[in-house]
């Protein structure tokens, strides 16, 4: 009976919150604005604008630029709302409102007062993936986990709430997602033994609506053990406890620093959870549920409808936080509501987003070798599980064994850099990493606020004909196969943008903005910005003219060596050595570059 009481309490907590922010949805539907980091709730990152198209994109020119005044890695993108552009920076998470009607004049500037000690507990650079907008407010989730609602016209603080505690390793790098009368936020800190969660705050005043943890008692992870399913079967009682040893779930990771999506008809939000803590798999036997999991939750209550754990008992740090892209497509001869996800583990997944049924699981980088396949037979006791190759298991005979040649590396065949989808071509456009690693676990003890990693890594190019350290690919999510692939010297760490102009934009770590033909992948345009691009390309119109904009500023996990001045090849969780050559092509920066066709 206990789970029924839990569910009833959660449902009561969500009562009376059923109104939708119709105005926000209307703004998202207007391609002349860019109102949410993901372009829309479906995470498609597609624009209907076509003034810039495959025939004239070669003529693109820089229209104007803006210096953010901050170095280190610039992820995310600006927002454009009613002729005002909102630009963010990495730590200290400064926010600018720029007047597009007045040559980008600064309307207001918000500078958070954060303790710089938070930098020491931020994994993989001081990045931030951007502000959000709803109800006349700009939402900023600072590195120190303070969530601030700013008046969009004045920049004045309306309310604020603290979501976590940096003293125990809880930080933030992700954007937030406003839905209906709530704003949904995650947490970072898996490398410090944080227990992941998603929290909903009420947009009006910042009061707590609900919080769902990634693992723990049923009451904490907000499930009904008889109704919440995993691959079509009830998860059962204590699913977030009984695959952990003792009470290790309390420091179990499963953080939620990726992208969220939302299906208004189903009233479900979708997101992924990250790696289990520690990185030493010998110290945490079991499947470690619900780390590495796609979750579908009711927005009003937080109660989970279904889960799918992609990498049970993760041994490689293949966080499952990458975006969930929602589409309506014909699959198997019928129209279905689909969810497509490109995981760090190198498999591209297609699921029915209503039921959680697994439809496709195929490698989107041919070099992936840690597993042979994902079992697709529903009658098998291995259904949905990757078949691990023993040679590339990092849990060898005891600890302190260096497992070599594992592909992909811990930063995955794709990290958080978001893909895009074009409903006009039916293809997904995916920035990828073509990188392998050596991985040596060691025993580590937990101390609150101290690193809880327990592994030494080194990374290097995959080294075959598929490309350098990265590719930009087009993917068919029904067949589970690459349609075309563009090799890049370094990982593609920029978010993609597809448009009705039959073009796709993306950026490179050397700093190039590129435009390619959406159908063939033919390169149509490139321009080198002042620093490496790990930001996400966006587009908007002003006074009837289409613009394309991107933040440049090298950093993030791939660029952490440059961003933080690290030189030891094993620093940056193994990335410094792998990307050492980046310093020959780019330097630190923090700039917004805006492009347009000549008058």
Which tokens in the block code for residue 557?
């996990």
Which tokens in the block code for residue 433?
């990493």
The reply to whether 400 belongs to the active site is: no
Sign of CA dihedral 317, 191, 562, 526: positive
The closest alpha carbon to 437, from 395, 493, 394, 471, belongs to: 394
Bridge partners of 195, per DSSP, are 253
| ∠ CA 511-515-520, rounded to 5° | 130
User: Residue 540: what are its φ and ψ, rounded to 5°?
Assistant: -160, 175
Helix (H, G, I), strand (E, B) or coil at 166: helix
First to last CA, the chain: 69
Which tokens in the block code for residue 472?
């930009």
CA distance 425 to 7: 42
Residue 477's H or E segment, with its range, is none
List strands edge to edge, sheet with 84-88: 79-81, 84-88, 95-99, 105-110
Write down the residue that tokens 């198997």 correspond to: 332
CA distance 415 to 321: 8
CA distance 512 to 355: 41
- Single out the catalytic residue among 218, 224, 287, 317: 317
Burial of 592 (0-12, 13-18, 19+ CB in 10 A): buried
Sign of CA dihedral 14, 19, 23, 28: positive
Calculate the dihedral angle through the C-alpha atoms of 521, 525, 530, 534, rounding to the nearest 10 degrees: -20
CA distance 121 to 143: 10
How are beta strands 324-331 and 545-552 bridged, if at all? Answer: unpaired
Q: Please answer whether residues 319 and 412 qualify as being in contact, where contact means their C-beta atoms are separated by less than 8 angstroms.
A: yes
Residue 462's H or E segment, with its range, is none
> 278: cis peptide before it, omega within 30°?
yes
Q: Residues with catalytic annotation?
A: 317
């Amino acid at each position: 009976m206990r789970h029924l009481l839990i569910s009833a309490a959660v449902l009561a907590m969500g009562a009376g919150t059923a109104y939708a922010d119709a105005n926000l949805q209307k703004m998202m539907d207007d391609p002349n604005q860019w109102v949410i980091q993901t372009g829309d709730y479906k995470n498609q990152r597609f624009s209907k604008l076509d003034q810039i198209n495959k025939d004239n994109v070669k003529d693109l020119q820089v229209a104007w630029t803006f210096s953010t005044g901050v170095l280190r890695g610039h992820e995310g993108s600006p927002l454009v709302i009613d002729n005002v552009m909102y630009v963010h920076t990495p730590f200290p998470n400064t926010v600018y409102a720029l007047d597009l009607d007045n040559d980008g004049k600064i309307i207001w500037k918000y500078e958070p007062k954060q303790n710089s000690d938070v930098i020491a507990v931020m994994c993989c650079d001081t990045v931030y993936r951007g502000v959000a907008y709803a109800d006349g407010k700009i939402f900023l989730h600072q590195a120190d986990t303070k969530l601030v609602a700013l008046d969009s016209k004045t920049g004045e603080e309306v309310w604020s709430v603290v979501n976590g505690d940096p003293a125990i390793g809880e930080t933030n790098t992700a954007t937030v997602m406003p839905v209906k009368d709530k704003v949904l936020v995650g947490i970072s800190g898996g490398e410090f033994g944080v227990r992941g969660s998603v929290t909903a705050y009420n947009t009006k005043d910042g009061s707590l609506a609900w919080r769902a943890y990634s693992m723990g008692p049923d009451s904490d992870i907000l499930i009904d053990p008889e109704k919440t399913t995993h691959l079509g079967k009830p998860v059962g009682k204590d699913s977030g406890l009984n695959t952990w040893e003792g009470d290790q779930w309390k420091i179990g990771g499963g953080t939620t620093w990726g992208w969220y999506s939302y299906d208004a008809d189903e009233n479900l939000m979708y997101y992924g959870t990250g790696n289990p803590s520690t990185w030493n798999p010998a110290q945490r036997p079991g499947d470690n549920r619900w780390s590495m999991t796609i979750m579908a939750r009711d927005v009003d209550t937080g109660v989970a409808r279904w889960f799918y754990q992609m990498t049970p008992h993760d041994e490689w740090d293949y966080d499952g936080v990458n975006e969930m892209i929602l589409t309506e497509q014909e699959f198997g001869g019928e129209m279905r509501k689909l969810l497509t996800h490109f995981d760090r583990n190198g498999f591209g997944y297609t699921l029915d987003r209503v039921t959680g049924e697994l439809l496709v699981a195929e490698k989107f980088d041919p070099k992936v070798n840690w597993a042979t396949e994902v079992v697709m037979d529903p009658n098998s006791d291995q259904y949905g599980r990757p078949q691990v190759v023993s040679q590339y298991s990092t849990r060898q005979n005891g600890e302190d064994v260096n497992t070599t040649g594992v592909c992909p590396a811990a930063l995955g065949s794709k990290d958080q850099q978001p893909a895009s989808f074009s409903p006009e071509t039916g293809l997904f456009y995916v920035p990828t990493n073509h990188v392998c690693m050596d991985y040596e676990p060691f025993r580590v003890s937990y101390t609150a606020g101290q690193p809880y990693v327990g592994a030494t890594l080194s990374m290097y190019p995959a080294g075959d004909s598929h490309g350098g350290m990265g590719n930009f690919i087009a993917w068919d999510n029904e067949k589970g196969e690459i349609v075309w692939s563009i090799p890049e010297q370094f990982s593609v760490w920029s978010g993609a943008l597809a448009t009705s102009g039959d073009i796709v934009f993306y950026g490179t770590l050397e700093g190039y903005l590129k435009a390619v033909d959406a159908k063939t992948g033919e390169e149509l345009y490139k321009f080198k910005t002042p620093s490496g691009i790990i930001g996400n390309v966006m587009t908007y119109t002003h006074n009837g003219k289409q613009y394309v904009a991107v933040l440049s500023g090298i950093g993030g996990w791939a660029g952490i060596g440059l961003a933080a001045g690290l030189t030891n090849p094993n620093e940056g969780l193994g990335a410094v050595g792998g990307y050492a050559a980046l310093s020959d092509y780019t330097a630190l920066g923090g700039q917004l570059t805006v492009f347009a066709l000549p008058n």
